[in-house]
Each structure stands twice: as C-alpha cells, then as structure tokens.
Amino acid sequence: MSTDPRPTTRKIARPPLPPSLVPPLTVKDVAAMLDSSVSHVYHIVRDRLIECQQVGRYKRFRPEWVEAYLAANHVTPVSTDPPKPVQPLGKRLGR
C-alpha cells in the first residue's frame, strides 16, 4: 500500500480515431496551407486543441481538421503556385 496521501488518478483511455481515407498532413503542409511558420501552427494547435485531442509534436494532422479550422476562421487556403522571382532592391534594370 502506498503512503502517498494524494488521491490516485487514472487515465481514461480514449478510443482511437477512425482511420481517414485521406493521407495525413504534416506540420509543414499545414504551415504551407496557412502561409505561416511551423511554430505558428503549433501555437494554433496549442490554443485550439483541434479535435479536443492533445496533438503532439510528431503526430500528423488530418486534412479535415485544417479545412474545419480554415472554415471556422473564414480563411481561404493559399495557392500552392511557386513564388515569382522578385527584382532585388538597388539593382537597375537593363544592366
């Protein structure tokens, strides 16, 4: 018998989520969709706790979660076209 006066707490096991038919997104994929940094995605997850589940650093995101977040916050996904080259400042044209 334990001599610890604190009450013991047991973790309640949650049933696993059903498998998704769409492959999961990585944090980098989500950051690209939101046009933000990876750390910003972690802040969003920490603040929102998507799907009421603790999302760890190495877990993957379901596309439905990201789409739901975008829809709830009225954000449109960013296009994935490659960026166009920009003329560096200070350079003259034609040289």
Residues 70-83 have pLDDT tens digits of 777 665 555 556 55
Q: How many domains does the chain have?
A: 1
pLDDT at 1 (0 to 100): 53
Contacting residues for 88 by C-beta, under 8 A, at least 6 apart:
none
Is 51 part of any domain? yes
**Residue 36 vs residue 80, higher pLDDT:** 36
Is 19 part of any domain? no
Bridge-partner residues for 25, per DSSP?
A: 61
Is 43 part of any domain? yes
Mean pLDDT of the chain: 65
Is 20 part of any domain? no
Comparing CA positions, the residue from 74, 61, 73 lying closest to residue 32 is 61
pLDDT at 40 (0 to 100): 81
Amino acid at 45: V
Q: What six digits make up the tokens of 94?
A: 């034609």
Q: What six digits make up the tokens of 26?
A: 């990585």
Residue 55 has pLDDT above 70, yes or no: no
Query: pTM score, two decimals?
Result: 0.32
Is 34 part of any domain? yes
Is 31 part of any domain? yes
49: domain range? 27-72
